C-alpha cells in the first residue's frame, strides 16, 4: 500500500534538531546511536526538489535492510534495529513518521572517502575514459563504448563532499594518502567483494548492477558498512533484457526526473521547480520495480 502524500521533512520533537541531508534526517540518540529517517525528498543536479516521491524513503530503507542482511557474512553493518517497537519508548509516538523508513544505528566514525565499484563504463567513469582512456588512473582497453562491460570490475574511489559540491573521482594513490594505504587496500578489496556478490545475485534477478558506491565507518575498532546500500539512489541498476552498449541504458532510478528538468531547460539554480504528477508516478514506479525485482517481494 503506497501512501498518497510524501514525507518531505520528519519532526521527531523529543530529539535534538537533526542534520538534514538530501534524503535523510539524522537525529542523535544518546551518545552512541543515531536515528536515520529516510524522507521522500528527491534531488537532481545537487538540488533538493520541491516535490517528493511518495514512499521513496520506505523503498530505500527496506532495500538497504535487505542488502545489509544479504551481505552480513562479508561485512557487519551499523544497524541496531529497524523495528520501531524496539526504539526508545519516547520515539513510539512518532511511529507514523518512522515505520518502515527509519533505522536506529550505531554512531560510526565514517571513513572520509566514497568507495565506488564499477563493472560497466557509465556516468563520470565514461566521461573520464573519453578524456584519458582511464578511470581514476586505471588504464582501460581502447574502443570501449558508453555502457560497455569492463574486462573486470574496478575500484574507483571519490572524495566525500559535504557542502553540496560534486564528489570528485580520485586515484587509489590519492585515497591511500588520505586514509592510509592499509585501510585503502582493505576497503578496495571489500568494495569489490561486495560488488561481486551483489552483482551476481542481481543478475539472477534479471538486473545489471552497473556501478555502486558504499560508505564505511568504524564502531569502536570494528569496520562496518553504513549509510544506505545498493539502492537506486546509490547504484545504477539496468534491466538485463535489452542491454546494448553504445549509449545510456534504461535504469531503475530518477532518470525521469532528470529528463523532465532538462526538457524544461531549468537553469539549475534555486528554487528547484516542482515535478508534474506524471513524472512523480513514473519515478515511483521505477523505484518499486527495482525493489520487487531485487527482493522478490512487495513493499511491506
The residue among 168 and 97 whose pLDDT is bigger is 97
Same domain, 128 and 224: yes
The reply to whether 273 falls in a domain is no
End-of-domain residue from the set 107, 126, 144? 107
The reply to whether 297 falls in a domain is no
Same domain, 117 and 224: yes
In angstroms, the Cα distances linking 263 to 27, 160, 256, 282, 284 are 37, 30, 10, 16, 19
End-of-domain residue from the set 90, 107, 124? 107
- State the Cα–Cα distance between residues 98 and 61, nearest whole angstrom: 11
Determine the average pLDDT of the residues in 137-150: 97
Contact by Cβ (8 Å): 136, 128: yes
The reply to whether 262 falls in a domain is no
Whether the pLDDT of residue 300 is over 90: the answer is no
CATH number of the domain encompassing residue 8 = 3.30.200.20
pLDDT at 256: 85
Domain that holds residue 124: 110-239
pLDDT at 1: 42
Please give the share of the chain, as a percent, with pLDDT higher than 70: 97
pLDDT at 18: 98
Same domain, 151 and 92: no
pLDDT at 165: 56
Q: pLDDT category, 224, cuts 50, 70, 90?
A: very high
β 149-155/138-139 pair status: unpaired
* pLDDT tens profile 29-65: 999 999 999 999 999 888 899 899 999 999 999 999 9
Q: How many CB atoms lie within 10 A of CB 99?
A: 14
Same domain, 128 and 16: no
* pLDDT tens profile 97-108: 999 999 999 999
Domain count, the chain: 2
Whether the pLDDT of residue 208 is over 90: the answer is yes
Same domain, 87 and 125: no
Percentages helix, strand, coil for the chain (3-state, rounded to 5) are: 35, 25, 40
The reply to whether 186 falls in a domain is yes
Angle, vertex CA 231, rays to CA 186 and CA 191, nearest 5: 10
The reply to whether 252 falls in a domain is no
- State the Cα–Cα distance between residues 252 and 33, nearest whole angstrom: 32
Same domain, 99 and 136: no
Contact by Cβ (8 Å): 287, 56: yes
The reply to whether 294 falls in a domain is no
* pLDDT tens profile 234-257: 999 999 999 999 999 999 988 889
In angstroms, the Cα distances linking 131 to 85, 198, 211 are 53, 30, 20
Whether the pLDDT of residue 163 is over 80: the answer is no
Same domain, 145 and 134: yes
Determine the average pLDDT of the residues in 272-276: 91
Sheet holding 24-29, edge to edge: 19-20, 24-29, 33-38, 102-106, 79-81
If phi > 0 it is left, if psi is from -120 to 50 it is alpha, else beta; for residue 156 that is: beta
pLDDT at 4: 67
The reply to whether 251 falls in a domain is no
Greatest C-alpha distance within the chain: 59
Same domain, 125 and 60: no
Whether the pLDDT of residue 270 is over 90: the answer is no
Q: Which residues is 102 bridged to in the sheet?
A: 37
Whether the pLDDT of residue 66 is over 60: the answer is yes
Mean pLDDT, the chain, integer: 94
pLDDT at 45: 85
pLDDT at 46: 82
In angstroms, the Cα distances linking 46 to 174, 271, 298 are 24, 12, 30
pLDDT at 160: 81
End-of-domain residue from the set 66, 90, 107? 107
Whether the pLDDT of residue 6 is over 90: the answer is yes
* pLDDT tens profile 102-134: 999 999 999 999 999 999 999 889 999 999 999
Amino acid at each position: 500500500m503506497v501512501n498518497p502524500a510524501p514525507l518531505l521533512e520528519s519532526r521527531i520533537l523529543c530529539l535534538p534538531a537533526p542534520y538534514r541531508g538530501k534524503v535523510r534526517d539524522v537525529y542523535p540518540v544518546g551518545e552512541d546511536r543515531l536515528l536515520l529517517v529516510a524522507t521522500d525528498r528527491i534531488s537532481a543536479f545537487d538540488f533538493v526538489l520541491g516535490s517528493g516521491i511518495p514512499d521513496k524513503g520506505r523503498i530505500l530503507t527496506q532495500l538497504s535492510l535487505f542488502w545489509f542482511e544479504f551481505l552480513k557474512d562479508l561485512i557487519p553493518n551499523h544497524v541496531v534495529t529497524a523495528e520501531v517497537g524496539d526504539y526508545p519508548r519516547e520515539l513510539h509516538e512518532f511511529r507514523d513518521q518512522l515505520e518502515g523508513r527509519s533505522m536506529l544505528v550505531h554512531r560510526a566514525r565514517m571513513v572520509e572517502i566514497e568507495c565506488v565499484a564499477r563493472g560497466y563504463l557509465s556516468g563520470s567513469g565514461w566521461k573520464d575514459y573519453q578524456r584519458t582512456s582511464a578511470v581514476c588512473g586505471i588504464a582501460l582497453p581502447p574502443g570501449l563504448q558508453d555502457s560497455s562491460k569492463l574486462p573486470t570490475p574496478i575500484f574507483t574511489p571519490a572524495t566525500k563532499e559535504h557542502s553540496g559540491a560534486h564528489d570528485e573521482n580520485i586515484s587509489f594513490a590519492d585515497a591511500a594518502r588520505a586514509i592510509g594505504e592499509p585501510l585503502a587496500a582493505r576497503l578496495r578489496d571489500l568494495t569489490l567483494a561486495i560488488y561481486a556478490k551483489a552483482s551476481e545475485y542481481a543478475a539472477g534477478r534479471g538486473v545489471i548492477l552497473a556501478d555502486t558506491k558504499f560508505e564505511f565507518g568504524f564502531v569502536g575498532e570494528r569496520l562496518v558498512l553504513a549509510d544506505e546500500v545498493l539502492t537506486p539512489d546509490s547504484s545504477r541498476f539496468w534491466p538485463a533484457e535489452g542491454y546494448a552498449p553504445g549509449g545510456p541504458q534504461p535504469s531503475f532510478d530518477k532518470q525521469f526526473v532528470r529528463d523532465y528538468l532538462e526538457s524544461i531547460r531549468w537553469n539549475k539554480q534555486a528554487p528547484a521547480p516542482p515535478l508534474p504528477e506524471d513524472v512523480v508516478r513514473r519515478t515511483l514506479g521505477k523505484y518499486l520495480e527495482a525493489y520487487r525485482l531485487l527482493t522478490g517481494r512487495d513493499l511491506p
